[in-house]
A and B are shown apart, each in its own frame.
Chain A
Amino acid sequence: MILSGLLNTLSVRGAGAPFLATGDGTFWLPVRASEAAGSVDNLFYFIFWISLFFFTLLMALLAIFAVRYRRRREGEEPEPSPSHNLAVEVVWTAIPVLLVAVIFWFGFQAYVDMSTPPLNAYQIQVTGQKWKWTFTYPNGYVDELLHVPADRPVQLVMTSQDVIHSLSIPAFRIKRDLVPGRYSKAWFTAVRPGDYDIYCAEYCGTQHSSMISTVKVLPPEEFDAWMLEHSDILSGLTPVEGGERVYNVLGCKQCHTLDGVAGVGPTFRDLFGSERSFKDGGRALADENYISSSVLDPQSQIVQGFEPVMPTFKGRIKDQEMTALIAFLKSLSEHAPGEEAPAAVGAGTP
């Protein structure tokens, strides 16, 4: 076991095919679902067996000494023995030095592999905020679950909107903090299709322990099909249906209800075309421009009775999606003109 661990750790190089690439979990470690998991696990067990060996040795000696040299009657004096021995002390200093040097080296090697993504890695943007994950794909599709193709290197480019979070996928053996104000990166090659947990590993407040998501590893062809389906969320839908889809996918529904009861934000029922009054005393008619600007720059006009908590969707919503969303809002409102949405909306948005 030790030897095989040694050899395998030595053999792990970049995106090569390591020993133990995939596998079920063991007593100590969860299921292995990424390439790196193999080398991490080998190292884990390498350290484990070394530790177990020395621990058993020490504790056996401890037990033997405790029994063999126990004081049988009070006042019994020990037999003489040396109080130091340079040779022995040098040896038992040197052996651990060598061992930890080896462990360091293996750990370092595997880490370098884990932190050096191949150039052709598929990039997904990750945003952490209290208390949810947002994954943005190269084509702009946004999801709260992470879908990745198997057998293809994937790089996550991550940042946080508020406090430090940490993306942890135990099955992939990766973990990286998301620091506000900077991009941090992680990469992996998933090798085993299935669903695995994503945790937030850096304490981030009330719902820290609910900041859990799932990574769905799909076989490459299934992933491609899935991506195709989701790259244009509006395809084959009427504007109103598309708007409803946008409403669901982009997360509007978490704060804005459709039933007329205000949630964290105002309800969408009968919103379009109504008169809005703002905290700063201003008023405006909820027309296309108003909707567009409140989605792209939510802090500019805060409706009375609500907190300025909405994040901006600038860069996350496409023009067609905005159009569809407005069509959807119109369909919900009795103030709306009742006709089809005008072709051009979002004029004046950057």
Chain B
Amino acid sequence: MSKHHEGPTYAHVVPVRTLLGVFGALMFLTILTYAVTYVDLGALNIWVALGIALVKGTLVALVFMHLLWDKKFYAVVLMSALLCVMIFIGIALLDSGQYQADLIPDFAPGIVQ
């Protein structure tokens, strides 16, 4: 691809076609995620929306952020961060779910009304 150009010796140059392809996919998925909210899927809606966001995010990370061609270690680094966030959110969710029953309903004396 970059054979015709004076590309750098130590990094990968992403072809324009790939960039445009990913761009198209992102645009399409954005419109899709917008459209899907007009269909009532019940509790599934949020997971569909998050699933689409995950696909979009993966595309951005792999192509726009060069993860596909870079050292795999960067992907490991990113995944470890996500794992960390997952642990944090997971435990906070698990715990707060457990003690909901102890809460005084709608306690918010600082809020008038």
Give Cα A182–Cα B99 distance, bound, in whole angstroms: 9
Give Cα A23–Cα B107 distance, bound, in whole angstroms: 42
A interface residues, Cβ below 8 angstroms from B: 159, 180-185
Contact of B107 among A181, A184, A185 (CB under 8 A): A181
Give every chain A residue within 8 A of B108 (Cβ-Cβ).
181
What number of residue pairs across chains A and B have CB atoms under 8 A from each other?
15
Q: Name B108's closest neighbour in chain A (CB-CB).
A: A181
Q: A159, A180, A181, A183: which has the most chain B beta carbons within 10 Å? A: A181
Whether B102 lies near A180 (C-beta < 8 A) is no
The proximity string for B residues 2-26 relative to A, scoring 1 for CB distances below 8 Å and 0 otherwise, is 0000000000000000000000000
Q: Name B107's closest neighbour in chain A (CB-CB).
A: A181
Q: Does B104 contact A (CB under 8 A)?
A: yes
Query: Can you report 9 A-B residue pairs in the complex whose CB atoms are below 8 A from each other?
Result: A159-B104, A180-B107, A181-B104, A182-B99, A182-B102, A182-B107, A183-B104, A184-B102, A185-B102
For chain B residues 70-113, which have a beta carbon within 8 Å of chain A? 99, 102-104, 107-108
Give every chain B residue within 8 A of A180 (Cβ-Cβ).
107
B interface residues, Cβ below 8 angstroms from A: 99, 102-104, 107-108
Give Cα A184–Cα B108 distance, bound, in whole angstroms: 17
Give every chain B residue within 8 A of A159 (Cβ-Cβ).
104
Q: Name A159's closest neighbour in chain B (CB-CB).
A: B104
Give every chain B residue within 8 A of A185 (Cβ-Cβ).
102
Q: Name A185's closest neighbour in chain B (CB-CB).
A: B102
Give Cα A65–Cα B107 distance, bound, in whole angstroms: 63
Give Cα A42–Cα B104 distance, bound, in whole angstroms: 37
Give every chain A residue within 8 A of B103 (Cβ-Cβ).
181-182
B81 to chain A, nearest CB (A): 30
B110 to chain A, nearest CB (A): 10
Give every chain B residue within 8 A of A181 (Cβ-Cβ).
103-104, 107-108
B13 to chain A, nearest CB (A): 48
B97 to chain A, nearest CB (A): 14
A309 to chain B, nearest CB (A): 14
A182 to chain B, nearest CB (A): 5
Give every chain B residue within 8 A of A184 (Cβ-Cβ).
102
Give every chain A residue within 8 A of B107 (Cβ-Cβ).
180-182
Give every chain A residue within 8 A of B99 (Cβ-Cβ).
182
Given contacts A182-B99, A182-B107, A184-B102, 12 further A-B contacts (CB under 8 A): A159-B104, A180-B107, A181-B103, A181-B104, A181-B107, A181-B108, A182-B102, A182-B103, A182-B104, A183-B102, A183-B104, A185-B102
Give Cα A180–Cα B99 distance, bound, in whole angstroms: 13
Give Cα A286–Cα B103 distance, bound, in whole angstroms: 38
Q: Name B99's closest neighbour in chain A (CB-CB).
A: A182
Give Cα A181–Cα B107 distance, bound, in whole angstroms: 5
Give Cα A80–Cα B76 distance, bound, in whole angstroms: 42
B17 to chain A, nearest CB (A): 55
Among all A-B residue pairs, the 6 with the closest Cβ atoms: A181-B107, A182-B103, A182-B102, A183-B102, A181-B104, A182-B104
Q: A159, A180, A182: which has the most chain B beta carbons within 10 Å? A: A182
